[in-house]
Chain A
Amino acid sequence: NAGVTQTPKFQVLKTGQSMTLQCAQDMNHEYMSWYRQDPGMGLRLIHYSVGAGITDQGEVPNGYNVSRSTTEDFPLRLLSAAPSQTSVYFCASSYRGRNSGANVLTFGAGSRLTVL
């Protein structure tokens, strides 16, 4: 199984450029989410989705857009990149909880973005 696949692994942008980080999962997970990882700050939630056609904002949504047209895909769009968006981005997915407790996330390998 591929699990959660993110592309690209590395990207360099200039300020003001736009791009899309791709995320795909093949586990038929209902939930998908995007986190960013910054030194000394752990992982912070950007946007999440509880199913196709449903998205919501996380802790740090500004400057990012998402959509979820299929169960498998959850792309993250940067409309006008800024140096503050230099980070490592992780996509994660999980089943809707069927047992007690919060869901276990499956993460992709990450996408390292540098904005000059």
Chain B
Amino acid sequence: GDSVTQMEGPVTLSEEAFLTINCTYTATGYPSLFWYVQYPGEGLQLLLKATKADDKGSNKGFEATYRKETTSFHLEKGSVQVSDSAVYFCALGITGGGNKLTFGTGTQLKVEL
């Protein structure tokens, strides 16, 4: 079946540091890939997405590139802020699969001054 593997957290960084959160996937079809973010006490919200190989999703300074050859969708940000502290989830969904997303376990990010 489909699966998503994320690096375990928590990840603790100083403000303005570079962030990478690794995500790899296994899928039987040709998936779309997502990063969702969950701020404390809130539901998940979409951070970025990519629907085909070599697509780059970007939002709020975060980027991720759909790499079909390595089945990866790593999340990066050049300079993190304290306000980026949250839990980040990588997810995949199959076209026409509706809302049946497969999520990774989540990576908690803590950014300190």
Asked whether, in the complex, the Cβ of B105 is within 8 Å of the Cβ of A97, the reply is no
Specify which of A33, A41, A102, A108 is in contact with B43 (CB 8 Å cutoff). A108
Min distance, Cβ A87 to any Cβ of chain B, angstroms: 14
Encode B74-99 as 1/0 by CB contact (under 8 A) with A.
00000000000000010011111111
Q: What's the minimum C-beta distance from A66 to chain B, rounded to whole angstroms?
A: 13
Which of B34, B43, B89, B95 is within 8 Å of A104, CB to CB?
B34
Which of A93, A94, A100 is the one whose CB lies under 8 Å from B95?
A100
Chain A residues near B (Cβ < 8 Å): 4, 31-33, 35, 40-45, 48, 50, 58, 90, 92-94, 96-97, 100-105, 107-110
Is the beta-carbon distance between B46 and A97 smaller than 8 angstroms? no
Given A100-B51, A100-B52, A102-B94, also A107-B43 (CB < 8 A): yes
Are B32 and A102 interface neighbours, CB within 8 A? yes
Cβ contact within 8 Å between A31 and B98: yes
* CB contact between B51 and one of A31, A48, A101, A108 (< 8 Å): that residue: A101
Q: Are A107 and B51 in contact (CB under 8 A)?
A: no
Tally of contacts, chain A with chain B, CB under 8 A: 81
Closest Cβ–Cβ distance, residue B65 to chain A (whole Å): 15
Bound together, the chains give a CA A22 to CA B104 distance in angstroms of 26
Taken together as a complex, chains A and B put the C-alpha atoms of A102 and B51 apart, in Å, by: 8
Q: Are B43 and A48 closer than 8 Å at their CB atoms?
A: no
Q: How far is the CA of A33 from the CA of B101 in the complex (A)?
A: 10
CB distance from A43 to the nearest CB of B (A): 4
Chain B residues near A94 (CB, 8 Å)? 98-99
Residue B42 CB within 8 A of the other chain = yes
B95 near A43 with CB under 8 A, answer: no
**A48–B44 touching, CB < 8 Å:** no
Q: Which of the residues A100, A101, A105, A108 comes within 8 Å of B99, measured between beta carbons?
A: A105
Contact with A along B24-49 (1 / 0, CB 8 A): 00000001101010000111111001
In Å, the complex CA distance between A48 and B106 comes to 22
20 pairs, CB–CB < 8 Å, chain A vs chain B:
A4-B43, A31-B98, A32-B99, A33-B100, A42-B106, A43-B101, A45-B101, A50-B98, A58-B100, A90-B43, A92-B44, A100-B52, A101-B51, A101-B93, A102-B31, A102-B51, A104-B46, A107-B45, A109-B41, A110-B43
